[in-house]
Amino acid sequence: MDSRAARSSGSSRDQRPLRQRLADASAPYLYSAPALILIVTVMLVPLVLGISYAFRDIQLLNPFSGGFIGIDHFKTLSQDENFYRALRNTLWWTGWSVLLQFAFGLILALLLDKPFHGRAIVQALVFLPWAVPSFLAGLNWSWLFNPVVGPLPHWFFAIGLMSEPANILSDPQLSMWGPIIANVWWGIPFFAITLLAALQAIPRDLYEAASIDGAGPVQRFISITLPFLAPTIAITVLLRTVWISNFADLIIVMTNGGPADRSQIVASYIFTQAFKRLDFGYASAIALVLLVLLITYSMLIVVLRQWLVSKD
Amino acid sequence: MTGKRILSTLAHRLAILAYVAFALFPLYWLLKVSVTPNNLLYSEGIRMWPSQTSFEHFEFVLRHSEFPTFFKNSLIVSGSTAVIVTVLASLAGYAMSRFNFRGKYWIVTLMLLTQMFPLVMLVAPIFKMLSPLGLTNSLTGLVIVYTAFNVPFATFLMQSFFDGIPKDLEEAAMIDGATQFVAFRQIILPLTLPGIAATLGFVFTAAWSELLFSLMLISGNDAATFPVGLLSFVSKFSVDFGQMMAAGVMALIPACLFFLLIQRYLVQGLTAGAVKG
């Protein structure tokens, strides 16, 4: 019961003066108004503007641009090799980043779930990458991959992975892996933190009961831990997928989409078009395509969820 | 049995050690290069620790570069964003926690949506909107943009803290004649102080790391925030690794301090809005 109702049920509710009732009804809106106004003007209005830009010729450096050009941008886009590569790269980037972050995050959560001496300190240390600003994480890893100051190329060379200590960020075949590795380093704590919280919510006596019944560790993991974690896993993986597919910082810092647009994902391609080429119209057209793809993905999740619910 | 137990404990500790090493190694390397004097940088390239250390890079960065300005700008932007967001989010979060009203469903939906769509979409339109207002190349413009981006998740976070405080407290105060706002300000807010501190920390960290919008909106050195300054430094003097890494260590310090502050609340923060980062 909400506090207004609780209060008015004490007195005779409808005899309060109109002004009082109006004030009560508008209170929650007054509390949330400043936040809402800001969200609408700085996020919703630009979103709508951006959608309109997709159908206009808007180039920052060209004062004569600005006219309505229909679907011309989308025609260009359908022939844009770099865009298709960026689409494939987005799948590659998102898939590997989420998979590795999740796998290593789950293992870390399981390791930290066991009590041991100094757990609090270890936890703070392994979660630290989460706090490192993304631009710094990107720079830091690009330095590690740089043969001049970084050790990684020399190690790869020493164990025979490379024929000479070279920078994988400037290799068209491998450049995508630089940002992916940085992203895994940076994102493991996110999964570890959320999964650890879910693990610690599992009632301990379930495990005791199971081991009295003779279940081994693997059996306990499959029949107790996994079912309990499943909802958390589903939600974090799905949300994280959307978030990572939009996450361009590391790529922009580490490779700038290069060499020759080989490591461009759609989000970084949008930024490159807007920031480097100052072509706001084309950037917005790509952004609109990305938005439609993400909405489709989210709808798929909703449908999948309902299908799973109705199956039970 | 005991042999097996020792073995599994050993494997557990080794795995933990591997994780700690992986998490800390890049930061360790950053620190190591930042204290390596220039004449040893290349000759002792991949040694784990240089035979001599010096703070010459830090001294140069602090005395002869513009990094102190960038640092100050970032501090102003992140600090103001954190304070404004926390005030707005406390109000909105309180409304979400204590009232049942018609528009609530739509407000929550709107805020959730802002967490899902690609913010990079807004780079161009926001630039076009702020430019005639004179808010590009200005710290104020950045604060406005960052505040809007961070309000939704901060609202959910504050709501979760308010939900943890029993309603009887303000009901008792209101029976004694206080208005709800007075009860909110004098009774509920003081009880939420740890939550307020955590929200401040989360927002500060998020604003401190933001990159794309600061790159787009800021072009001169005067209003450059740390990421903008560091990246332009990297593209201009890409050989001065020692100085770049010294600057990197400087950028890391506030992030680490705030991490210590909010560490206890990480779970709550991450579930509130799957925070950026």
The verdict on a CB contact (< 8 Å) between A31 and B13 is: no
Q: Does residue A171 or residue B80 have the better pLDDT? A: B80
Residues within 8 A of A (CB atoms), B 192-251 only = 205, 208-209, 211-212, 215-216, 227, 230-231, 234, 241, 244-245, 248, 251
Q: Name the residue with tokens 């960020």.
A: A169
Task: Average the pLDDT over A196-221 and give the result.
Answer: 87
Lowest-confidence region among A7-11, B47-51, B60-64, B72-76: A7-11
Instruction: Name the residue of chain A whose CA is nearest to B244's CA.
Output: A139
Question: Radius of gyration of chain A from Cα atoms?
Answer: 26
Residues within 8 A of A (CB atoms), B 37-96 only = 41-42, 45-46, 88-89, 91-92, 94-96
Cα→Cα distances B179→A1, A20, A69, A219, Å: 19, 12, 56, 57
* pLDDT tier, B272 (very low <50, low <70, confident <90, very high otherwise): low
The verdict on a CB contact (< 8 Å) between A47 and B122 is: yes
Tens of pLDDT, residue by residue over A94-120, are 999 999 999 999 999 999 998 888 888
Beta bridge partners of A68: A56
The verdict on a CB contact (< 8 Å) between B45 and A148 is: yes
Q: What is residue A5's predicted lDDT score, i.e. its pLDDT?
A: 44
- Number of neighbouring beta carbons within 10 Å of residue B25: 14
Cα→Cα distances B73→A202, B214, B229, B230, Å: 45, 11, 10, 13
A126 neighbors A189 (Cβ within 8 angstroms):
yes
Q: Does residue B135 or residue B45 have the better pLDDT? A: B135
The verdict on a CB contact (< 8 Å) between B122 and A2 is: no
DSSP code of residue A223 = I
Q: Which residues contact A262 (CB under 8 A, 6 or more apart)?
A: A85, A172, A173, A175, A176
B114 in reach of chain A (CB within 8 A): yes
In the chain, the amino acid numbered A109 is A
- Residue A291: is its pLDDT beyond 80? yes
ipTM over 0.95? The verdict is no
- Give chain B positions within 8 Å (CB) of A196: 267
In 3D space, the residue among B93, B216, B205, B98 whose CA is nearest the CA of residue B153 turns out to be B93
| CA distance linking residue A238 with residue A241, whole number of Å | 5
Task: Average the pLDDT over B240-260 and give the result.
Answer: 88
Q: Does residue B265 or residue A4 have the better pLDDT? A: B265
Nearest chain A Cα distance for residue B186, angstroms: 16
Q: What is residue A308's predicted lDDT score, i.e. its pLDDT?
A: 75
Greatest CA separation for chain A: 87
In 3D space, the residue among A269, A292, A294 whose CA is nearest the CA of residue A282 turns out to be A269
Q: What is residue A2's predicted lDDT score, i.e. its pLDDT?
A: 45
The domain limits of chain B are 2-54, 66-273
Q: What is residue A247's predicted lDDT score, i.e. its pLDDT?
A: 92
A81-311 — its CATH code?
Answer: 1.10.3720.10
Residues within 8 A of A (CB atoms), B 135-164 only = 144-145, 147-149, 151-152, 155
Tens of pLDDT, residue by residue over A129-150, are 998 999 999 999 999 998 888 8
Task: Average the pLDDT over A189-195 and give the result.
Answer: 91
Instruction: Name the residue of chain B whose CA is nearest to A242's CA.
Output: B116
Q: How many beta-carbon pairs below 8 A join chains A and B?
A: 271
- Residue A267: is its pLDDT beyond 90? yes
Nearest chain A Cα distance for residue B217, angstroms: 10
The verdict on a CB contact (< 8 Å) between B121 and A284 is: yes
A144 neighbors B38 (Cβ within 8 angstroms):
no
The domain limits of chain A are 17-53, 81-311
In the chain, the amino acid numbered B241 is F
> Hey, what's the torsion of the CAs at B64, B67, B68, B69, to 10 degrees?
110
Of A129, A140, A194, the CB nearest to B270: A194
| CA distance linking residue B155 with residue B95, whole number of Å | 10
- Residue A230: is its pLDDT beyond 80? yes
Q: Average pLDDT, whole number, for chain A? A: 87
Task: Average the pLDDT over A278-305 and give the result.
Answer: 88
pLDDT over 90 percentage in chain A: 40
Of B45, B103, B266, the CB nearest to A29: B103
| CA distance linking residue A137 with residue A288, whole number of Å | 29
Tens of pLDDT, residue by residue over A44-66, are 999 999 999 999 988 877 777 77
Q: What is residue A11's predicted lDDT score, i.e. its pLDDT?
A: 44
Beta bridge partners of A62: none
B21 in reach of chain A (CB within 8 A): no
- Give chain B positions within 8 Å (CB) of A293: none
Which residue spans within chain A are E strands per DSSP? none
Instruction: Name the residue of chain A whose CA is nearest to B270's CA.
Output: A194
- Residue B94: is its pLDDT beyond 90? yes
Nearest chain B Cα distance for residue A236, angstroms: 8
pLDDT over 90 percentage in chain B: 37
A276 neighbors A256 (Cβ within 8 angstroms):
no
Q: Which residues contact B178 (CB under 8 A, 6 or more apart)?
A: B170, B186
> Hey, what's the torsion of the CAs at B61, B62, B67, B68, to 10 degrees?
180
The verdict on a CB contact (< 8 Å) between B180 and A27 is: yes
Task: Average the pLDDT over A65-78 and give the result.
Answer: 86
| CA distance linking residue A88 with residue A86, whole number of Å | 5
Task: Average the pLDDT over B28-55 and give the result.
Answer: 82
The verdict on a CB contact (< 8 Å) between A28 and B101 is: yes
In the three-class reduction of DSSP (H, G, I as helix; E, B as strand; rest coil), residue A279 is classed as strand
Instruction: Give the residue from B122, B135, B188, B213 with the most A CB atoms within 10 Å of its CB, the best one to mutate.
Output: B122
Tens of pLDDT, residue by residue over B163-213, are 888 888 888 888 888 888 888 888 889 889 888 998 998 899 999 989 999
Task: Average the pLDDT over A70-77 and give the result.
Answer: 88
The verdict on a CB contact (< 8 Å) between B211 and A190 is: no
Q: What is residue A15's predicted lDDT score, i.e. its pLDDT?
A: 67
Beta bridge partners of A59: A279
How big is the CA angle at B116 (ends B114 and B118), to the nearest 5 degrees?
90
B131 neighbors A48 (Cβ within 8 angstroms):
no
Q: What is residue A10's predicted lDDT score, i.e. its pLDDT?
A: 43
A52 neighbors A229 (Cβ within 8 angstroms):
no
Backbone angles phi, psi at A68, to 5 degrees: -80, 125
In the chain, the amino acid numbered B73 is N
Please report the sign of the dihedral spanned by the C-alpha atoms of residue A147, residue A152, residue A157, residue A158: positive
Q: State both tokens at B149.
A: 């981006």
The verdict on a CB contact (< 8 Å) between B125 and A197 is: no
Q: Which residues contact A191 (CB under 8 A, 6 or more apart)?
A: A101, A102, A104, A105, A106, A108, A109, A236, A240
In 3D space, the residue among A185, A88, A203 whose CA is nearest the CA of residue A141 turns out to be A185
In 3D space, the residue among A101, A131, A54, A93 whose CA is nearest the CA of residue A287 turns out to be A54
Instruction: Name the residue of chain A whose CA is nearest to B93's CA.
Output: A32
Nearest chain A Cα distance for residue B105, angstroms: 12
CATH superfamily of B66-273: MetI-like (1.10.3720.10)
A250 neighbors A179 (Cβ within 8 angstroms):
yes
The verdict on a CB contact (< 8 Å) between B95 and A243 is: no
The verdict on a CB contact (< 8 Å) between A2 and B99 is: yes
